[in-house]
Structure 1
Amino acid sequence: MNITTRKVKLVLLLIISIIGLLLTGACSNEGTKNSSSASSNVKEESDKEKTKVNIAINGGLNLLTIAKYKGWFEEEFKKENAEVNWVEFQSSAAVLEAIASNRVDFSFVGEGSLVTGITSKIPMKAISVTGVEGNQNSIIVQPGSPIKTIADLKGKTIAIAKASSAHIFLIKALEKNGLKESDVNLIQLEPTEALPAFQTGKVDAWGTWDPYVTTEVEEGRARIVESVKTMNFLSPALMIGSDKFLHEHPDLAATYLKVYQKTVDWLPDNIDEAADILAEEKKMDKKLVKMILQNNHYINSPISEDISKSVQSTADILYKLGTIREEVDIDKAYDNSFLDEALKK
């Protein structure tokens, strides 16, 4: 073999080696690219599969605030590839609007709001009872008032948030004492408006709930005429869930109620800590918060026949008042199956 031929072969070998290296590098880059793309796709799929649970806190003092502070919902839902989104509203009306627009999956409302929501075709169900004393709904008067009984309210001016649980309580209290709503002069005032009107004597009485009741009584500015406790009335607060979420994620609905039950069970032995949490979160006096917690009975129970009768009577009252435009069979608004599953977990 001559020198020229040898040089040609060497050049060819060099070219083949370079081409091989280039091809190897290209394959390696493509593999890395494909691997990176696959990892990205897995992450995207994981994010897509994660369910968002929208929980609304409906003002006031409630156990959802404690569970949020403790991170108990986040802890449980993480196990089921779900994440929590918290929102807060100052009224049940805002909660109902948010459920209708699929911005809220779970919250709680009073019986009056449940009725108005159902008649407004809000897609929701009541899934448990969270209280039966309606946040201490009461009729209060100033300490020196001559009003001693419900019967004494005849002809008097009463501040009330119409269609609220306190309004329903007042109507039932009047009826039990042989009076009608037309026998008193009702002034429509939301709590923030009613408070100064009550304190300055512009109204004779105020139908309201906690924390206003306990605050005014403890500060010596009010006396309770009657309350749901003294009259032995049921005035239930109810946990609600959106129909869409309940249908698509029944297991997560059960998990939600399981965590709420955990909070209910935790409270009695941890009143001081609960008061610390709520006082900090709501910017209220701890002593006052503790009193309110002790005055209310927090539960997480099935919707019983007694509760159903109470809510039905509320629906009938609201229909007579013209607050709702049609009669309603409230039994269709309940579903205890999610709580049944929660208590098995």
Structure 2
Amino acid sequence: MKKRWISFLVILGLTAGLAGCGTQSQAAGDTKKEDTQTAGDAKTEEVQTVRLGVMTGNSDHWVAEVGTEQGIFEKYGIELKVTEFAAGINTIDAIVTDQVDIGNLADYAAINRLGNTQDDTDLRLIANFSSSSTGKLYVNPKEVTSLTDLSGKGLVTLAGTVWDYWNAKTLEQAGIEGDQQVLVNVDSAQAALGVMTTGEGVAFWASGTNAKKLEEAGMEPLLTMDELGLRTDAYFITTEKYIEDNKELLTNYLKAFQETQDWVLEYQEEAAKIVEEKTGIPQDQFLENLKQEKLLMGFSQDTKEHLNEIKDWALKAGQFEKDFNLDDFVDTTLLENGGFM
């Protein structure tokens, strides 16, 4: 798919996650002895560190913060070390360079990375933890009033992430081809907000806090994911070796994550206070974000079909050179061990 690219190095608005990429933490699998009274009156003497890479402000981020605050991860013998990143795809780089043990990423980003490294990667998807189809395409109303107005104008993207997929499907829907496809490449959603307000970009897919900021800047929604027939699933990913060495630890991590999800849904107001304190997301915005996202823990047949649909599209679009079997890069044994499947 031919397109013109405009790249910007945008410093304003970068998340703390990029600077925090090198956060030091106890090595995976190292343990320390503690006599710890945990949530639910459970007790464990061995605490193991799990280094988690999250997308700033995403559900995995605030579940990690709430679960730590409530002692749920501690209950399962886990000391969670969290490092924030601008996009889920960045967590894969952190896994490969041994900066984190587990990362999160969206469906297209997973397929794109696996497709392009299929012959020399041991990355494995281990669980689908959320799903959403509530994103909207926000546009500058002075520049865009219909999809066809995007021809020759800047559609903002984060290269290699799910934004590439959303934008490609948007341009397909609009019937815009070749050199009239203009993608403005930025390195974070926060940077995208800056590009939109300066006029370098005229359209950006957003939800939650980012959508609210765009609305405050005068941008208006033009298209929804539902109208485009899209949904976005988020996954945990790690390596085959880490799974082999830490089966019980990872199973407990998934249990703790789901227990925290359940707690958040039951005690939404209290969770909102914790999230605001830990992440800066206003309580009302957190509660609105929570309505827009389905929290889950599993790897259903529907999930596999969803990923295979994206894979088939990406292969046809030339995103990678050859097909691959998705099952080769999915490991559900942890979910099975934890009673999720």
TM-score by length of 1: 0.73
What code does the residue aligned with 1:163 have?
G
Partner of residue 101 from structure 2, selected from 101, 105, 116: 105
Q: Does 1:160 align with 2:165?
A: no
Deviation at 1:319, TM superposition (A): 4.4
Percent identity (aligned) = 19
User: More deviation in 172-181 or 183-192?
Assistant: 172-181
Deviation at 1:50, TM superposition (A): 6.5
In structure 2, the CA distance between the partners of 1:46 and 1:275, relative to structure 1 (3 Å rule), is closer
Question: Helix, strand or coil for the counterpart of 2:190?
Answer: helix
1:270 alignment partner in structure 2 = 267
Partner of residue 293 from structure 1, selected from 290, 304, 310: 290
Structure 2, unaligned stretches of length 5 or more? 1-30, 35-45
Does the CA-based 8 Å contact 1:51-1:83 persist in structure 2?
Answer: yes
Deviation at 1:162, TM superposition (A): 2.1
Listed as ranges, the matches of 1:293-332 within 5 Å are 293-302=290-299, 304-319=300-315, 323-332=319-328
Deviation at 1:100, TM superposition (A): 1.8
- Per-residue Cα deviation, 1:180-233 (whole angstroms, up to 9, x for no partner): 47542111123333212212333221234543123323x262222223234341
Deviation at 1:179, TM superposition (A): 4.3
Q: Does 1:283 align with 2:280?
A: yes
Partners of 2:82 and 2:217 in 1: how far apart? Answer: 36
User: More deviation in 291-300 or 82-91?
Assistant: 82-91
Structure 1, unaligned stretches of length 5 or more? 1-43
1:255 alignment partner in structure 2 = 252
Does the CA-based 8 Å contact 1:57-1:65 persist in structure 2?
Answer: no
What code does the residue aligned with 1:198 have?
M
Deviation at 1:141, TM superposition (A): 0.8
Partners of 2:96 and 2:311 in 1: how far apart? Answer: 20
Question: Helix, strand or coil for the counterpart of 1:215?
Answer: helix
Listed as ranges, the matches of 1:54-73 within 5 Å are 54-62=51-59, 63-73=63-73
Does the CA-based 8 Å contact 2:151-2:180 persist in structure 1?
Answer: yes
Partners of 1:342 and 1:157 in 2: how far apart? Answer: 46
Question: Helix, strand or coil for the counterpart of 1:236?
Answer: strand
Q: Which has the larger radius of gyration?
A: 1
User: More deviation in 227-236 or 313-322?
Assistant: 313-322
2:338 alignment partner in structure 1 = 342
The RMSD of aligned alpha carbons is: 3.0
Deviation at 1:146, TM superposition (A): 4.3
Deviation at 1:126, TM superposition (A): 1.1
Give the helix-richer structure, 1 or 2.
1
Question: Helix, strand or coil for the counterpart of 2:244?
Answer: helix
Give the strand-richer structure, 1 or 2.
2
For these two proteins, the number of residue pairs brought into alignment is 293
Partners of 1:65 and 1:291 in 2: how far apart? Answer: 18
Question: Helix, strand or coil for the counterpart of 2:127?
Answer: strand
Deviation at 1:168, TM superposition (A): 0.6
Does the CA-based 8 Å contact 1:214-1:292 persist in structure 2?
Answer: no
Question: Helix, strand or coil for the counterpart of 2:76?
Answer: helix
- Per-residue Cα deviation, 1:2-54 (whole angstroms, up to 9, x for no partner): xxxxxxxxxxxxxxxxxxxxxxxxxxxxxxxxxxxxxxxxxx9969x864332
Deviation at 1:241, TM superposition (A): 2.7
